[in-house]
């Protein structure tokens, strides 16, 4: 799936329209509390700026509904933070395709940067509107997609804009190129044993991923709350654990399909309440008492999973093993993270909670790749095609 990158296009004197993911968290004072997403776009941004290109950046932020509180979703703070990181002025347009954006884009000189206002302030973005996309496309000579977190979506900026720029260069940025290299190319040519670790709350969120990975992996480990739906499918007692009763039949099918490949927990760390200072006990799988709930995989499961991971050559992990935000129910996630970090495998951590867990537990530097897109990485693990990437220029 190799795509032409921004580095392979001559940008001197040209305007580049780059889709980035500046969906950063803002506090009540409109202050950015974590600018990691802006910093991760820097290699692509500097590639254009340093080579004399004129850069127009577009992104969404949050989920504005047009109910009068849109100002709290403005990208103005992101433009200010980018200016600080770049060490040079960054222009900001108060609209996306209106007079301000158009005039400021035309006024750009070589090496200049402009940030457009939140794409989602225009209803055409989520609708994939071709008229809106055409106006964005008219701003530039080159299109660059460096927003992996939205690559699985069909928003105008992801699909209709590059479609409208079919006669112009359409490339990926550094971030998307790296995600493709790990999530698509590594998985399709995985060194074996290839092991997947899937956690999180809901089987329903991961059905297609489990199905796809059972077909291509040597082992698929299940942890997190969704393990209790599997436990119930085997006839076990799950107490007050979080289960999806309407997915029990499906869990039975996956158990039958997975056979020895599907590795389920053999014990569980339980609490009599959902809080850190509750009463706790470790029980065998399927033996959670009434009034208790499973909040983490147990120590025997952690040891079993770690033993399998020791020999793995490729590891994909999406979803924590328990309530990792609440010690001591972070023990299972911590043990699995340690085993992944200690292995010689190419290790890929899906976005969302698993990325947060690896960061929080301090293992981010010891794995091969931490994905920036939760939903996008899941969609790629399902084997889905991404129109937003497929239509870009081949390398």
Which among 14, 19, 37, 51 is annotated as catalytic? 37
pLDDT tens per residue across span 73-109: 999 999 999 999 999 999 999 999 999 999 999 999 9
Q: For residue 51, say whether it is annotated as part of any ligand binding site.
A: no
pLDDT tens per residue across span 204-214: 888 888 988 99
Q: How far apart are CA 65 and CA 174, in angstroms?
A: 31
**Cα–Cα distances in angstroms (integers) from residue 191 to residues 21, 188, 371, in the given order:** 31, 9, 19
98 a catalytic residue: no
pLDDT tens per residue across span 150-203: 999 999 999 999 999 999 999 999 999 998 888 887 888 899 999 999 998 888
Q: How far apart are CA 50 and CA 291, in angstroms?
A: 62
Q: For residue 343, say whether it is annotated as part of any ligand binding site.
A: no
Domains of the chain: 6-173 (3.40.50.1260), 183-382 (3.40.50.1260)
What is the pTM assigned to this prediction?
Answer: 0.83
- Residue 200 confidence (pLDDT): 86
Which among 298, 352, 373, 374 is annotated as catalytic? 352
Q: Are 305 and 340 in contact (CB under 8 A)?
A: no
Q: Which two tokens stand for residue 270?
A: 């339980």
- Residue 1 confidence (pLDDT): 64
Q: For residue 354, say whether it is annotated as part of any ligand binding site.
A: yes
Q: For residue 206, say whether it is annotated as part of any ligand binding site.
A: yes
Q: For residue 250, say whether it is annotated as part of any ligand binding site.
A: no
Q: How far apart are CA 137 and CA 318, in angstroms?
A: 35
Which among 52, 111, 236, 375 is annotated as catalytic? 375
Q: For residue 120, say whether it is annotated as part of any ligand binding site.
A: yes
- Residue 351 confidence (pLDDT): 66
Give the pairing type, strands 293-297 and 267-271. Answer: antiparallel
202 a catalytic residue: yes
- Residue 207 confidence (pLDDT): 84
Q: For residue 351, say whether it is annotated as part of any ligand binding site.
A: yes
Number of CB atoms found within 10 A of residue 390's CB: 11
Which among 202, 252, 300, 313 is annotated as catalytic? 202
Burial class (CB in 10 A: 0-12, 13-18, 19+), 267: buried
pLDDT in tens, the chain (395 residues): 689 999 999 999 999 999 999 999 888 888 998 898 999 999 999 999 999 999 999 999 999 987 767 889 999 999 999 999 999 999 999 999 999 999 999 999 999 999 999 999 999 999 999 999 999 999 999 999 999 989 999 999 999 999 999 999 999 999 999 988 888 878 888 999 999 999 988 888 888 889 889 999 999 999 999 999 999 999 999 999 999 999 999 999 999 999 999 999 999 999 999 999 999 999 999 999 999 999 999 999 999 999 999 999 999 999 999 999 999 999 999 999 999 999 999 999 986 788 888 888 888 889 998 887 778 888 888 878 889 999 999 98
């Amino acid at each position: 799936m190799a795509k032409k990158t921004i580095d392979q296009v001559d940008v001197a004197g040209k305007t580049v329209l780059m889709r980035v993911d500046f969906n950063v968290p803002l506090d009540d004072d409109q202050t950015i509390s974590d600018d990691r997403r802006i910093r991760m776009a820097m290699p692509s941004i500097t590639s254009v700026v340093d080579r004399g290109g004129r850069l127009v950046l577009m992104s969404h932020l949050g989920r504005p509904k047009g109910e009068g509180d849109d100002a709290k979703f403005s990208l103005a703070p992101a433009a200010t933070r980018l200016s600080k990181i770049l060490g040079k002025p960054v222009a900001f347009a108060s609209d996306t395709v209106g007079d301000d954006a158009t005039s400021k884009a035309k006024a750009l000189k070589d090496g200049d940067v402009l940030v457009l206002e939140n794409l989602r302030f225009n209803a055409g973005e989520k609708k994939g509107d071709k008229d809106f996309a055409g106006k964005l496309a008219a701003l530039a000579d080159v299109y660059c997609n460096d927003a992996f977190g939205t690559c699985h979506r069909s928003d105008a900026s992801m699909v209709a804009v590059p479609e409208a720029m079919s006669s112009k260069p359409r490339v990926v940025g550094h971030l998307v190129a790296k995600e493709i290299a790990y999530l698509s190319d590594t998985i399709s040519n995985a060194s074996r044993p290839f092991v997947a670790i899937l956690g999180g709350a809901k089987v329903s969120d991961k059905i297609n991923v489990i199905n796809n990975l059972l077909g291509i992996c040597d082992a698929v480990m299940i942890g997190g709350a969704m393990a209790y739906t599997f436990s119930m499918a085997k006839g076990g007692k799950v107490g007050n654990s979080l289960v999806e009763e309407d997915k029990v039949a499906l869990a039975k099918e996956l158990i039958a399909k997975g056979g020895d490949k599907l590795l389920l927990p053999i014990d569980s760390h339980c609490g009599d309440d959902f809080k850190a200072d509750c009463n706790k006990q470790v029980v065998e799988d399927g033996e959670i008492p009434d009034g208790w709930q499973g909040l983490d995989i147990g120590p025997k499961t952690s040891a079993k999973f770690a033993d399998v991971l020791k020999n793995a050559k490729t590891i994909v992990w999406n979803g924590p093993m328990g309530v990792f935000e609440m010690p001591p129910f972070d023990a299972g996630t911590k043990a699995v993270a340690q085993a992944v970090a200690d292995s010689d495998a190419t290790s890929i951590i899906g976005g969302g909670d698993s990325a947060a867990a690896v960061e929080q537990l301090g293992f981010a530097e010891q794995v091969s790749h931490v994905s920036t897109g939760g939903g996008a990485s899941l969609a790629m693990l399902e084997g889905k095609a991404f129109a937003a990437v497929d239509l870009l220029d081949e390398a």
